[in-house]
Structure 1
Amino acid sequence: MKLEFDSQFLISVVFLGFVGLLCYLYTLLVEKPNRLRSKLMKQGINGPPPTLLLGNILELKKAQSATSKSFSETPSSHNCAALLLPLFDQWRDQYGQVFMFSLGPIQILCVNQPDIVREITVCTSLDLGKPAYQLKQLGPLVGKGILTSNGAKWVHQRKIVAPELYMEKVKGMMNIISESAVSVLNLWSNKIEAEGGVADIKIDECLRNFSGNVISRVCFGSNYAKNEEIFLKLNTLQELLSWKNMSRRIPGMSYLPTKTNREIWSLEKDVNEMIVQVVNERKKSAFEKDLLQMVIENVKDDNLSKEDIDSFIVDNCKNIYLAGYETTAVSATWCLMLLASNQDWQDRVRAEVLEICGGRIPDLSMLGKMKQLAMVINEVLRLYPPVTVVSREALKDMKFGNLDIPKGFNIWVMVVSFHTNPDIWGDDAYKFKPERFANGTIGSCKLPHVYMPFGVGPRVCLGQNLAILELKMIIALILSKFTFSLSPHYVHSPTLRLLIEPEHGVNILVKKL
């Protein structure tokens, strides 16, 4: 009798647990998203109808597959928004400047209204924070963050290094940037001589080596071999976590032991352990005045456990990698591609470089005088911005303009769409025209606040100044030594991973001046 009673009790507990789990999943995946959407629908905001559990993921995946197969654009037009994110333009035309869509249960408000974008980008409140879904999905690459005592905000939202101190560090290491650039010049010179005066060079790997060497020495000290191994693993992680792997956005998919997820977990573990090893070696060795030391100094007095301190340092090292390594390499690649296909601008910038430097390696003052080069770089970052989407999450109910955004909703600002909107930039918005920046970013278009290649406001990318200095140095030195044009092997095929990258790389024909 007792055994029968125990069995019935156990069955009841299991049944109630199962019912509770179903209720929880229904609330998380159905009731909460519907409740959030209804609050915006009452304000007249609509969007594509989501399917149960998947939201609009299948539509996005289908559109992405269609564009990757049909793309045949030439370098003369640079409408990356229509190419890489075609559905967003369609949804904007259909539902208005502000619309909503879903990535599974994740509700996203896409804002294309410039006055509201201005309010969002200058908001300093931590209640407009990094999206929780982004931290979960991209956590292996950017870090998952450390919760503060109230469990509501992420520690890594604060700046680990004051921008002015960061720049002082970078200015003091200009020799590292120039030495790394000169190594690229020497490599290209050897290839040109070996190939009889003209070399067909695939520049992507050379530029990654350049930026990797800089970020390794400026940020992480002299252990380049170890840092290079970390960079390679992070680069693989970036590919696995890119937009192309849309299936990971399906609820629960990132937790299943699929082949891709197992590889992601293994790489994340390896990278974290390697960074902690570098940090521990640093603590035992002589003091080095680099950014890693500044990160370590910044948290040593915080009331955090050793595990939290290690996690904080690892997260920020990953973010420095993204800002200073991959961003610089990809932007330099696009810059050389555009100069190779626009000979007049290549000649103009080269003449400026030769006049200012007179054959010398440029210093910080010389780089600051290169107005034509600055115009070109600004235009490159407009057409192929490192930040394609600025994303935030409302951690409490918030109001921007006439929009009441409920807690839990995510906000997207489509940078790549703003950067090439003909209503803002004119009929030549898809063309490479550096002269639009002749008066700086303020005079570049009707609404200059929508130009945000590194983000804007209080959360602007800390690594942007280092990236710009690297870009100016490598482009100036290449122009001073070589002339180049697009190789017949080049295929113009931008693709969206975490950054907009050339899917098949960039080949240019290079010869000495």
Structure 2
Amino acid sequence: MESLMMMETAKTIWWIIVIGALGLGFRIYGKAMTEQWRMRRRLTMQGVKGPPPSLFRGNVPEMQRIQSQTMINKHHSGDNIIAHDYTSSLFPYLDHWRKQYGRVYTYSTGMKQHLYANHPEVVKELNQANTLNLGKVSYVTKRLKSILGRGVITSNGPHWAHQRRIIAPEFFLDKVKGMVGLVVESAMPMLSKWEEMVKSREGETFCDIRVDEDLRAVSADVISRACFGSSFSKGKEIFSKLRCLQKAITHNNILFSLNGFTDIVFGTKKHGSGNIEELEKHIESLIWETVKEREKECVGDHKKDLMQLILEGAMSSCDGSLADKASSYKSFVVDNCKSIYFAGHETSAVAVSWCLMLLALNPSWQTRIRDEVLRFCTNGIPDIDSISSLKTVTMVIQETLRLYPPAAFVSREALEDTKLGNLVVPKGVCIWTLIPTLHRDPEIWGADANEFRPERFSEGVSKACKYPQSFVPFGLGTRLCLGKNFGMMELKVLVSLIVSRFSFTLSPTYQHSPVFRMLVEPQHGVVIRVIPN
């Protein structure tokens, strides 16, 4: 009898705990939802319209429906047409609402209120906003923590400002110019490999080559040697694991598929390409091993590379107990190395891949680049003196970054109420600028906005379009990409070397299918048919 009473008491206590937990959960969720509705109302009162949200999931059901219908239509079409305007297939819900509500509208993903802002004046205000109150979107940085950590790309406020002060000087133009020879050295083995591939095909003067993986290897080698004093062979496993992690993270839509509440409570860790937690730990272990090796190499070395600057910055930023200092030091170093390893090589490789695809479709621009390189570069090899004279190469790269910017979005979260022109963005609202759409707006770029026309940049970005601040392949404002100078230099060198050595067209096997995996990249790679010059 006593045992039965104890069981009944335990069951009662259990139900009280469950009901209390549910009540607390609903209370917290209800408070958060009320706050989202308040944000939406504040935006609506300022004239910002948008699709009506459902009670619990906001506009997510409509987003999923539009995305599914787009995928069905694409599957039935079966065409391999190379159309440069891909936003309607990658982000169809944003494109659909833009046609309904214009260049500025608001929508909800349940626990998050968003502001789509693709108006040139709003972009200009974002460009000029010199404030720490506009940071990276918190729920996205949480999802990307395993691959980017809390480094300079994802952190906010004073923590971000401190990291930027440490890292930015390494990418100043004077230092970047000194790395031209290093990029050439990293590219030469790839060029020789391609030449050998053609020679090995008896009776044929051409060879079909998938270039994107080779370009990843070159770009990884460049960033390893330029910033960390090591070659790609040493960091090969790190880059391989980062690539696996990137695919695992982006298996689901990392931006909009789930609302904030369900993402926090029911977010999954596993995917076919590997366990995210295990990959994260393995990558961090590999990076830390590289760091410790580099620390030993740095003893007595007066020439500081980026790794040494990060190490010094980590030491100066750590405070607290000895154990806390050690933990903080390791986190600071590993997180920034992850950011630089990923952003420093993946974006460049993707950009060059798209550039070669566009040049394969436009052989006349290959001829123009080839003539320019031969005119200014000794033996067709760019150096510190000739790189600034490659105007045609620059125009082609800028047009590539206009049509195929690796980063699809500029994203910000209002950490406090923030004024952008006549619009006050409430604290907590996430701001999204869809770069490819901004880069193809006919009112900004003209009727030929979807065409590959590098000559539009013949007089620089300021004369290329109606609103120059609308060209944002490297982001905008105070958080402009740290590696912009480095990236442009690397792209110029790689494109110049490849075009001077080879003529090429697209292979018949090439499938044009841009896909969003943190970056907009070719889903099936870029396959070109190369002929040595």
Normalised by the length of structure 2, the TM-score is 0.88
Q: 1:378 to 1:187 in 2, by over 3 A?
A: same
In the superposition, relative to structure 1, how do residues 173 and 384 fare at CA in structure 2: closer, same or farther (>3 Å)?
same
1:92 maps to 2:98: yes
Matched, 1:203 2:211: yes
1:183-222 mapped onto 2 (5 Å cutoff): 183-195=189-201, 196-222=204-230
AA in 2 matched with 1:239: K
Q: Which amino acid aligns with 1:396?
A: E
Q: How does 1:235-384 map to 2 (within 5 A)?
A: 235-242=243-250, 244-245=252-253, 249-250=258-259, 251-253=261-263, 256-257=267-268, 259-260=270-271, 263-287=275-299, 289-304=304-319, 305-384=325-404
Question: C-alpha displacement at 1:15, in angstroms?
Answer: 4.0
Q: Does the 8 A contact of 1:36 with 1:409 survive in 2?
A: yes
Counterpart CA distance in 1 for 2:69 and 2:524 is 18
**1:155 corresponds to 2:162:** no
Percent identity over paired residues: 40
Please say which of residues 258-267 and 123-132 is displaced more in the overlay: 258-267
Quote the Cα distance in structure 2 between the aligned partners of 1:101 and 1:410: 10
Structure 2: which 5+ residue stretches go unaligned?
Answer: 320-324
Instruction: Find the aligned partners of 2:347 and 2:518 in 1 and give their Cα distance.
Output: 10
Q: TM-score, normalised by structure 1?
A: 0.92
| CA gap 1:111/1:485 in 2 versus in 1, 3 angstroms | same
In structure 1, C-alpha distance between the alignment counterparts of 2:251 and 2:437, rounded to whole Å: 17
Q: What are the Cα deviations for residues 393-416 of structure 1, in whole angstroms up to 9, with x where unaligned?
A: 111111112212111111111211
Contact kept in structure 2, 1:169 and 1:290, CA below 8 Å: no
Inter-partner Cα distance in structure 2 for 1:409 and 1:210: 39
Task: Go from structure 1 to structure 2 and tell me whether the alpha carbon gap of 1:9 and 1:470 turns closer, same or farther (over 3 Å shift).
Answer: closer
CA distance in structure 1 between the aligned counterparts of 2:444 and 2:156, rounded to whole angstroms: 37
Q: Post-superposition shift, 1:226? A: 4.2
Which residue identity does 1:63 align to in structure 2?
I
Unaligned runs of 5+ in 1: none
Q: What is the deviation of 1:144?
A: 3.7
Mapped contact 2:418–2:426 kept (Cα < 8 A): yes
* Correspondence 1:134-149 to 2 at 5 A: 134-144=140-150
- 1:145–1:154 contact (8 Å) kept in structure 2: no
In the alignment, the residues of structure 1 paired with residue 91 and residue 137 of structure 2 have an alpha-carbon distance, to the nearest angstrom, of: 20
Instruction: Please state whether the residue corresponding to 1:374 is helix, strand or coil.
Output: helix
- Secondary structure, counterpart of 1:446 in structure 2: coil
1:469 paired to 2:479: no
Provide the C-alpha distance between the structure 2 equivalents of 1:84 and 1:488, rounded to a whole number of angstroms.
24
The amino acid that maps onto 2:64 is: K
Cα displacement (A) at 1:309: 2.2
Cα distance in 1, alignment partners of residues 84 and 47 from structure 2: 33
Partner of 2:67: 64
Q: 1:115 aligns with which of 114, 117, 121?
A: 121
**Residues of 1 paired with 2:225 and 2:381: CA distance?**
19
1:322-380 per-residue CA deviation (whole Å, 9 max, x = no partner) reads 33200000000011111111011111111111111142421022111011110000000
Q: Which moved more, 1:52-61 or 1:466-475?
A: 52-61
Q: Which residue of 2 aligns with 1:127?
A: 133
Aligned-partner Cα distance in 2 for 1:378–1:4: 72
Alpha-carbon distance, 1:58 to partner: 3.5
Distance in 1 (alpha carbons) for counterparts of 2:68 and 2:205: 41
Query: Could you tell me how far apart the structure 2 residues matched to 1:368 and 1:17 are?
Result: 64
Candidates 61, 79, 82, aligned match of 2:85: 79
After superposition, the C-alpha distances for 1:67-109 in whole angstroms (9 at most, x for unaligned) are 445443633x411222322222221221232111123311110
Shift of 1:152: 8.1
Deviates further, 267-276 or 288-297: 288-297
Distance of aligned partners of 1:244 and 1:352 in 2 relative to their CA distance in 1, 3 Å threshold: farther
Task: Report the AA paired with residue 271 of structure 2.
Answer: T
Say which of 381, 395, 404 aligns to 2:415: 395
Deviations 1:275-302 (A, max 9, x none): 1222222223334632111211222112
Give the Cα separation in 1 of the matches to 2:459 and 2:156.
43
Query: What is the distance in 2 between the residues matched to 1:93 and 1:12?
Result: 51
Give the Cα–Cα distance (whole angstroms) in 2 for the partners of residues 145 and 46 of structure 1.
35
Is 1:483 the equivalent of 2:503?
A: yes
Contact 1:177 1:470 in 2 (8 A): yes
Change (3 A) 1:154 1:321: farther
Quote how far apart the aligned CAs of 1:237 are: 1.7
Contact 2:360 2:505 in 1 (8 A): yes
Deviations 1:256-293 (A, max 9, x none): 45532971122112112221222222223334632111
Specify the SS of the correspondent of 2:416: coil
Q: What value does the CA root-mean-square deviation take over the aligned residues?
A: 2.6
The structural deviation recorded for 1:230 is 1.0
Change (3 A) 1:409 1:295: same
Once the two structures are TM-superposed, the CA of residue 214 in structure 1 deviates from its matched residue by: 0.6
Contact kept in structure 2, 1:138 and 1:241, CA below 8 Å: yes
**Farther-moved stretch of structure 1 (201-210 vs 224-233):** 224-233
Change (3 A) 1:476 1:10: closer
Superposition deviation, residue 206 in structure 1: 1.0
Residue of structure 2 in register with 1:19 after alignment: 23
